[in-house]
Amino acid sequence: MKKSILFSVFFFLNLTVFAQNNDIWISFPDKDSTHIGFKDKNGVIKIEPKFMGMTIAHKFENIIAVNEENNQKWESYYLTKAGKIVGRDSLYIFDNGPDCENEGFIRFTDRKTDKMGMFNSDGKIVIPAIYSNLTKVRNRTFIGLKDAEKVRDGEHFFWTGGKEFLIDINNTVLIEDFAYNDNLNFYSLEKSGEPSKNATRESFLGVNGNYYSFISFEKEFKEWLTNSLLKDLSKANILKQSFDKITYWKESTGWISNPKNKFINENYNYIKLKLQELNTAKTEYFISADGLNPFIFESAEYEMYFNNCNESKDWIYPTMDIVISSKNKIDHTQDHLEFLRTENGYKLISVSAAKHNLK
């Protein structure tokens, strides 16, 4: 069976060349920290501090959402590196914050129709505002919801009805009835004439008759956990399957970090015991997917796992938290072993023990 890998080497080469030719600007505050501007890597100021409010971008790569005050009025818009202003008063807001570009695309909302579309890095509309809702672009594809009804529930709202599609950045529908799913690795996309036989993949029939398959983060993690970690609980293997630093919780100090060698050497027996419990049928545990917490993992080694707005890039680097319940049914405490998906596989990155005193 022939396969066509859609996120080809060409795609990555393009990204590499683009990154090399693109001088990313860094945000900086004014003296009283009420406004922010941007400077290049050499410290040359490109935009004097004038933005505030909804301006959450820490890095200015291609296009950002900004907010400023003019004549005692708030103005919001999208700004490109070339200084082009687009989408005035059309910021897409989610969870009290505006969108952040991904792969050079950023979402906007047409306030007249309450529909969503996308700008590219030049501020041109590449996806018209015809969708009820859109995901970020991931591997030049996105999930679009059409013809849904917005229902308000107090201060919040949700969508009901409508139809979801997997669509490419040319606004071409690839898959119909493609329900929103943040468990799929869109950068693992493969196309073939029949469903994938790989146990970690999920396959969907496309409108062109081909099947599109994606690695499931959950299936991938469970396979890795079983075959790469639980089969060998030696100290050497646990160290191999750990991040360079382990962050852990102590009641007396809160979250702290230690090099993995120090942490595993001092807490090996506890980690081994918790992992051994996963091989016991009586152990109650579940796995929860999320992303790195930017308020805990703040140092330089975690930077690649966050986007330009300091949001976790959980669409490519999710965390998998194994939550283990106490064997004592009266005791409702839980232990947590958190693993981060990295370029070198999943790595133990965080531990929280309910009753054990981690060192």
> For 125-150, how does the pLDDT look when each residue is reduced to its tens digit (9 = 90+)?
999 999 999 999 999 999 999 999 98
Q: Which of the four pLDDT bands, split at 50, 70 and 90, describes residue 9? A: very low
Give me the pLDDT at residue 332, please: 74
Return d(Cα 224, Cα 38) in angstroms, integer: 42
Mean pLDDT for 48-55 is 94
Contacts 24+ apart (CB under 8 A), 66-70: 67/91, 67/98
pLDDT of res. 217: 98
319, 289 contact by CB (below 8 A): yes
pLDDT at residue 236 tops 80? yes
Q: Are strands 141-146 and 149-153 parallel, antiparallel or unpaired?
A: unpaired
Task: Categorize the per-residue pLDDT at 212 as very low, low, confident or very high, splitting at 50, 70 and 90.
Answer: very high
CA distance linking residue 125 with residue 31, whole number of Å: 36
Report the C-alpha gap between 319 and 314 in whole angstroms.
7
- pLDDT tens digit sequence for 87-120: 999 999 988 899 999 999 999 999 999 999 999 9
Mean pLDDT of 40-59: 95
pLDDT tens per residue across span 267-312: 999 999 999 999 888 899 999 999 999 999 999 999 999 999 999 9
Q: What is the pLDDT of residue 3?
A: 41
The answer, yes or no, to whether residue 2 has pLDDT greater than 70, is no
Neighbour count for residue 143 (Cβ, 10 Å): 22
pLDDT band at 39 (very low <50, low <70, confident <90, very high): very high
CA–CA separation, 200 vs 209, rounded Å?
Answer: 22
**Mean pLDDT of all residues in 157-186:** 94
| Residue range 349-355: mean pLDDT, rounded | 90
Report d(CA 70, CA 97) in Å as an integer: 21
CB proximity list for 226: less than 8 A, separation 6 or greater: none
Q: Which residues pair with 28 in a beta bridge?
A: 37
Q: From the CB of residue 85, how many other CB atoms can be counted at a distance below 10 Å?
A: 12
d(CA 82, CA 36): 18
The mean predicted confidence, pLDDT, of the chain is 91
pLDDT score recorded for residue 6? 42
Q: pLDDT confidence of 22, banded at 50, 70, 90?
A: low
**Residue 263 three-state SS:** helix
Measured in degrees and rounded to the nearest 5, phi and psi for residue 109 equal: -120, 125
pLDDT of residue 20: 38
Cα–Cα distance measured from residue 183 to residue 308, given in angstroms and rounded to the nearest whole number: 22
**Mean pLDDT score, 243-251:** 93
The CA-atom distances, in angstroms, between 183 and each of 43, 51, 120, 293, 340 are 40, 35, 26, 18, 14
The pLDDT of residue 8 is above 80: no
Residue 154 pLDDT exceeds 80: no
Over range 53-74, report the average pLDDT: 93
pLDDT of residue 235: 98
pLDDT higher than 50, residue 229: yes
Distance CA 211, CA 185 (A): 16
Who has greater pLDDT, 85 or 153?
Answer: 85
Q: Do residues 284 and 323 make contact, with C-beta atoms less than 8 angstroms apart?
A: no
Say if residue 1's pLDDT is above 50.
no
